Chains A and B, each alone.
Chain A
């Protein structure tokens, strides 16, 4: 009866509801920013804010794809390896074979997407659990990335490539940040206003209900893994631009950072609730936290401890709030 009185704010309109379920993380982010503003004199500046944005580009792009996968009740452990593979394909094609950059990027993203296709088919056609399928892909893809140069890094990209991550157009956005912002906006709009986006919630909520409702669950699942891998590849392009080099050991354990960002943002690992709005906040929390801890000269090891604690805090706070 009490529950019947409670009406969800699901339909308030606009993009704000995309943050539904993420109000806790949002408050956490604000508190964090306030604290760092008081604790350091460098935190609150446009320059530092732009730095934070630059630092979260790779994680941000990757986490959007991860959100979609987790939303349908899946998981993708291979994104870190896919990032590395895409980078190595890019480097090999462009630097070693001299393929023009636009084509090299396209093919690198294609290679990344192919990974998602294989994972998606393993999951839907052969009923391999997503955890296992992507665990296997993680290993295979990392191996492939290493095989391209036998573990060596590649340098020697055209000069403008690195500039994408350095030059601030209009004194504001680097191209890599712009890529992330576009991914955020497209992701948000897709999830909230596209037929295909709503379907993800139905599948995550209960795949059997979705199937009986005439939703093509298999196709949607494969597509989600393809998109997630594509975005992992794209984050690889961003990282390559930032580093101005590629190496096959890039992106190790990035999948865990992406999962952490999604979970901190309030998306449930069992699927069906949450979304990209929350993930953006989750990514910002991780970015601001790392930036702030660096400004406070906290050792990188202690940073790991603190980030772990934040994950626990975010999830327990959310669970507690829901129980009430």
Chain B
């Protein structure tokens, strides 16, 4: 395969912000028709590198060539014109416009001074077809699944004649089925000779999709594998730069005392129905299932964030069915929500203020409160949870892992009895994940009943004493740790 010439070559590409060097001379070649997995922890330099390739950021030193010619895009437009398509993690589609309009936004095909709607839809349709996507181009983007929206982004890049696609965590929000659909489309694109840079934290899928693996650490390329099926452990060790002990700490033995019990719980929107389970003190209870199985809706209902239409929630045998988050929090049932940035922290407020928001009553005396008191209150937790940041710093400046610790600190300050974590490590890099797992297990050790919802099978299997599998809003079964493995869970999830 190396007989062909690369589409894109990087030689000694560097980037500095003032005195801080974030990229230390990276060499990289991308050949047509291959998928190169770009791996590394957050802050390893993957985003900077892809931003340089896509023209968002200019390198401080080094050379790039595109099909043999010098390549130095001054802005994203220039990169797009050359044929670089960047698919961002956060989708940038306009929900109220049609698929065709989204594909051609800003460069509508014109005919006799008017937008050529017919031509536009025709071209959009052929783009969608190329990706095996069976939707009408005149339908609105709103309401399409994340996976389909992702494919529309790709279709948009393809109508721009992209020869290199950069996919930044494309599967972060996708369920198993959608992920497989995406992979099929990637295979098609490969066959068409498109080069693909694939950034992901989900190492299991790399094996399926990658032809080569490039591992980055601290702004430098540390290792390259010429094949995709490298053992995950080897990759992780290259990423973190040390050999790993076990990722998951040992589970404590739960007590016999049932802390939380859920009886016949159903949602008004029918996203879940007739759910029954109980969690003991000191137990970690996992909830697995595919995207759309109703897991998030269920735990949001248990913590009062979403309404309940039938059934009840009991805490230590007493009914505590919550009507609002306030209700649940008063009873010591708290939620670490799925979407940190939208539900967990206020990004442009300080760490201390964020920790304070769930504890204002406790911090204030007779309703009086001061920033200094909030700061003092928060400092203890910042230290206890090893948040890498200072109280006065904005939460938005923290890495995902540290933001998650802030959300946890906010709740654990209240000494909750039940802690529900929805996708606790989504978008968090491997090194930081184990410290989140340690926190989870420590909670259980202190006698807290913990519920963990995760799409990451390895994670649910690793931290849970028992696992409930959900499928299409129903409870498909509860597995004990001994019986739970990826096969048994997936069997139940796909019922």
Residues of A at the B interface (CB closer than 8 Å) are 1-4, 6-11, 13, 17, 192-196, 198-199, 201-202, 205-206, 208-216, 272-273
Contacts and interface: CB of A to CB of B under 8 A. Distances in A.
Contacts of B17: 1-2
B356 A208 contact: no
Contacts of B303: 212
Contacts of A215: 326, 357, 360
26 contacts: A1-B20, A1-B22, A2-B18, A2-B20, A3-B397, A8-B394, A10-B350, A10-B392, A11-B375, A11-B391, A192-B371, A194-B367, A194-B368, A196-B367, A201-B349, A201-B353, A202-B346, A202-B357, A209-B343, A209-B346, A212-B344, A213-B325, A213-B329, A214-B358, A215-B360, A272-B348
B369 A198 contact: yes
Contacts, number: 107
Contacts of A213: 325, 329, 357-358, 410
Interface in B340-365: 342-350, 352-353, 356-358, 360-361, 364
B372 interface: yes
Contacts of A9: 392
B393 interface: yes
A272 B349 contact: yes
A-B residue pairs, 7 tightest by C-beta = A205-B346, A214-B329, A213-B358, A195-B364, A3-B397, A213-B357, A202-B357
Nearest to B366: A195
A45 to B, nearest CB: 38
Contacts of A209: 342-346, 357
A272 B353 CA distance: 12
B325 A193 contact: no
Contacts of A214: 325-326, 329-330, 358
B52 interface: no
A268 to B, nearest CB: 9
B369 A195 contact: yes
Given A193-B369, A206-B346, 9 more contacts: A2-B18, A8-B350, A10-B371, A10-B392, A194-B367, A210-B357, A212-B343, A213-B325, A214-B329
Nearest to A3: B397
A101 B358 CA distance: 44
A268 B329 CA distance: 31
B305 A8 contact: no
B389 interface: yes
A303 to B, nearest CB: 35
A13 B372 contact: yes
Contacts of A7: 390, 392-393
Most chain B beta carbons < 10 A, residue from A4, A205, A211, A212: A212
B369 A212 contact: no
B360 A195 contact: yes
Contacts of B397: 3-4, 6
A2 B344 CA distance: 24
B337 interface: yes
B291 interface: no
Given A2-B17, A209-B357, A272-B346, A11 B371 contact: yes
B42 to A, nearest CB: 12
Nearest to A2: B17
Nearest to A204: B346
Contacts of B337: 212
A216 B343 contact: no
B287 interface: no
Interface string B3-30: 0000000000000011010100000000
A202 B344 CA distance: 12
Contact of A212 (B335, B348, B360): B335
Contacts of B372: 11, 13
Contacts of B369: 193-195, 198
B2 interface: no
A2 B391 CA distance: 17
B384 interface: no
Contacts of B234: none
Contacts of B389: 4
A198 B346 contact: no
A7 B20 CA distance: 17
Nearest to B388: A4
B361 A195 contact: yes
A1 B45 CA distance: 12
A99 B335 CA distance: 55
Nearest to B336: A212
A276 B19 CA distance: 38
Contacts of A199: 360
A196 B374 CA distance: 14
Most chain A beta carbons < 10 A, residue from B326, B350, B361, B364: B326
B393 A205 contact: no
Interface in B297-349: 303, 305, 325-326, 329-330, 335, 337, 342-349
Contacts of A3: 394, 397
Most chain B beta carbons < 10 A, residue from A4, A10, A211, A214: A214
B325 A211 contact: yes
A199 B303 CA distance: 21
A273 B361 contact: no
A47 B425 CA distance: 64
A187 to B, nearest CB: 15
A194 B361 CA distance: 10
Contacts of A211: 305, 325
Nearest to B305: A212
A11 B374 CA distance: 9
Given A2-B17, A10-B371, A206 B342 contact: yes
A49 B390 CA distance: 43
A212 B328 CA distance: 10
Nearest to A212: B325
Given A193-B368, A195-B361, A11 B392 contact: yes
Contacts of B364: 194-195
Contacts of A196: 367
Interface string B271-286: 0000000000000000
